[in-house]
A and B are shown apart, each in its own frame.
Chain A
Amino acid sequence: MTSKSTAFPSPGPLSLFGARLRRADGPRRARRRLPTRRDWPSWSIVAFQIGFLVALIALWEIGARVGFIDPFFWSSPSAIWSTGVVYFTEGNAFVDIAHTFRSTLLGFFIGTTAGGLLGLSFWWSSNYARIVQPYIICLESLPKLALAPLIILVFGMGLASKVAIATALTLVVSTLTAFAGVQAVDKDQEKLFYSLGASRWQVFTKLVAPFCVPWLISILRVNIGLALTGSIVGEFVASQFGLGRTILYAGQTYEIALVWVAVFVLSALSMVMYVAVSWLESVLRKGARN
């Protein structure tokens, strides 16, 4: 090898290149290219995603049949499928979906709206904001789901209690977000408004409220998830209908396939609502600019 004869003790087959890079006097300059990024075509990404899912389901089914997965605890895709068909054709799938959907949506709207208004109201008086703030922080740190049994007692087994829990979860987050928005309003901007002779109401409607709109929009996607969680937990504690109730009931009667069906329906519902809220968000963002 020629590397033996060079003055540089760099071993290996790359030494020739290494030697060429070095200057007799002066430091070595690293020759490095910008890392290139290779994007696979979209179809191959989708193919991988589907392939992974199919493999997972196949493994589950085979495992359940061969016996290295206990079908009593984990069920099997085929059993889940047939249970699902029964649940949708003969069971009360649509009633459950309607109940969960309704309480989630109601909780989402009430919590977000009331929380947003409450947060914005803090702009009106710093004294009032200072008095209320510790309570809000307390409510924030309180695990609100722990109150679920109490809420059920107060609001009963029906819709109201689910809505109340979903509202409790979304309200505090919305309040804090709107309040953070209020505090971020540029003081110079307020000064400009007042120098133009604005009333407090004008400052509120033309500056503070529009300024906070993007802050509230950003909370929508978080809130839809929280509202759903609230509804499900409410149904866990006490209810006659709803996906949460079905999951709990099926678990207690060891109908594991039905648990899975309800969980899958729940995730589908959650995804639909998430997409809808994302769409709402983009519409509002466009609207907020006009």
Chain B
Amino acid sequence: MAVRPKLVLDNVSMVFETKGSTFTALAPVHLEVPAGKFISLIGPSGCGKSTIFNIVAGLQPPTTGKVLIDGEDATGFIGQVGYMLQKDLLLPWRTVLDNVCLGMEIRGTPMAEARDRAAPLLRKYGLGGFESLYPASLSGGMRQRAALLRTLLVDMDVVLLDEPFGALDAQTKAQMQEWLLQLFNDFGRTVVFVTHDVEEAVFLSDDIYVMASRPGRVIEQLPIDLPRPRDRSIVSSPRFVAMKKYCLDLLHMEAPAAPVAA
């Protein structure tokens, strides 16, 4: 018998109705994520990636379908997964340490205990010395680190990451990807990752779901069988390049005929 997947989207769809016309944001999607795997969703804007995240996080009820976590119906329940939005959303009036503790605090952990748990992790994952600073004095990369630690510290098995590195420069982004892989190894969570960056998706994932828009849907599931742990040098291996090209071709095929740049 196959191992029960951690997260299942069972024919989840999202249809908006506005005065007579209907708009399908997400055609029925079936998706199974095994425990401890890292999967990525890639696709053009408007393909329903954010809709999937909102539905899984319980922030939006799906039109049809169910979200199952460990086989239990989690549709419409908040606080069942860790969700990191594109922006870091650190509270400017809290120190970095207290920002990282926010999730635990909301879940009822006493603040002193939350701080005790968070402080060693901040030191371990590159935020040592920043604990008592306010977010305004941190660089973009550091802020994302804090936001990600806040997400991981709520002890949810499933973590949703919505383009966490989208706004970072290329060099910081590469550092952050390796940092994320380290966290992924250490924490052993199940990660669903959204990105526009195909190379990022191939580098990080076990599985890539390629999506298309109008209506938003999954067009292909692509297993990435590169060995872990992965080193940066892997990006120039023929296998990596081939998979990246395959993804790009899929995305291009789906994109409307783009006018050739002059």
Contact present for B85 and A207 (CB under 8 Å): no
A198 to B80, CA, bound (A): 11
Which chain B residues lie closer than 8 Å to A202 at the CB level? 106
Contact present for B89 and A194 (CB under 8 Å): no
**Beta-carbon nearest neighbor of A210 in chain B:** B93
Max chain B CB contacts within 10 Å: which of A194, A207, A213? A194
Cβ-based interface call for B62 (8 A): no
Contact present for A195 and B79 (CB under 8 Å): yes
Which chain A residues lie closer than 8 Å to B154 at the CB level? 196
Could you mark each residue 181-208 of chain A with 1 if its beta carbon is under 8 Å from any beta carbon of chain B, else 0?
0000010110111111110001000110
Count residues of A near B (Cβ-Cβ below 8 Å). Answer: 19
A196-B154, A289-B93 as given contacts; A191 in contact with B106, CB under 8 Å: no
Provide the main secondary structure of the chain B interface.
loop
CB within 8 Å of B: which of A160-200?
A: 186, 188-189, 191-198
A195 to B60, CA, bound (A): 11
A188 to B83, CA, bound (A): 11
A186 to B91, CA, bound (A): 11
**Beta-carbon nearest neighbor of A289 in chain B:** B93
Which chain B residues lie closer than 8 Å to A191 at the CB level? 59, 85
A188-B89, A210-B91, A288-B93 as given contacts; A193 in contact with B106, CB under 8 Å: yes
Question: Of B57, B87, B93, B105, which one neighbours A195 at CB under 8 angstroms?
Answer: B57
Closest CB in chain A relative to B25 CB, distance in Å: 17
Q: Interface size for chain B: under 10, 10 to 19, 20 to 34, or 35 or more residues?
A: 20 to 34
Which chain B residues lie closer than 8 Å to A206 at the CB level? 91, 102, 105-106
Contact present for A198 and B106 (CB under 8 Å): yes
Cβ-based interface call for B121 (8 A): no
Contact present for A189 and B107 (CB under 8 Å): no
Question: Of A192, A197, A290, which one neighbours B107 at CB under 8 angstroms?
Answer: A197
A207 to B106, CA, bound (A): 11
CB within 8 Å of A: which of B75-121?
A: 78-83, 85, 87, 89, 91, 93, 102-103, 105-107
A196-B103, A197-B106, A207-B91 as given contacts; A188 in contact with B85, CB under 8 Å: yes
Question: Of B81, B83, B105, which one neighbours A192 at CB under 8 angstroms?
Answer: B83
Contact present for B78 and A194 (CB under 8 Å): yes
A197-B78, A197-B107, A198-B106 as given contacts; A192 in contact with B93, CB under 8 Å: no
A202 to B89, CA, bound (A): 16
Cβ-based interface call for B184 (8 A): no
**Beta-carbon nearest neighbor of A186 in chain B:** B89
**Beta-carbon nearest neighbor of A213 in chain B:** B93
Which chain B residues lie closer than 8 Å to A186 at the CB level? 89
Which chain B residues lie closer than 8 Å to A207 at the CB level? 91
Additional A-B contact list (15), CB under 8 Å, known A194-B78, A289-B93: A188-B87, A189-B89, A192-B83, A194-B58, A194-B59, A195-B83, A195-B85, A196-B102, A197-B79, A197-B106, A206-B102, A206-B106, A210-B91, A289-B134, A290-B93
Name A's B-contacting residues (CB within 8 A): 186, 188-189, 191-198, 202, 206-207, 210, 213, 288-290
Supply 26 A–B pairs (Cβ within 8 Å), ascending by A.
A186-B89, A188-B89, A189-B89, A191-B85, A192-B89, A194-B58, A194-B78, A195-B57, A195-B58, A195-B59, A195-B79, A195-B81, A196-B78, A196-B83, A197-B78, A197-B106, A197-B107, A198-B78, A202-B106, A206-B102, A206-B105, A207-B91, A213-B93, A288-B93, A289-B93, A290-B93
| Cβ-closest 10 pairs across A and B | A197-B79, A195-B83, A195-B57, A198-B106, A196-B103, A196-B106, A192-B89, A194-B78, A197-B78, A189-B89
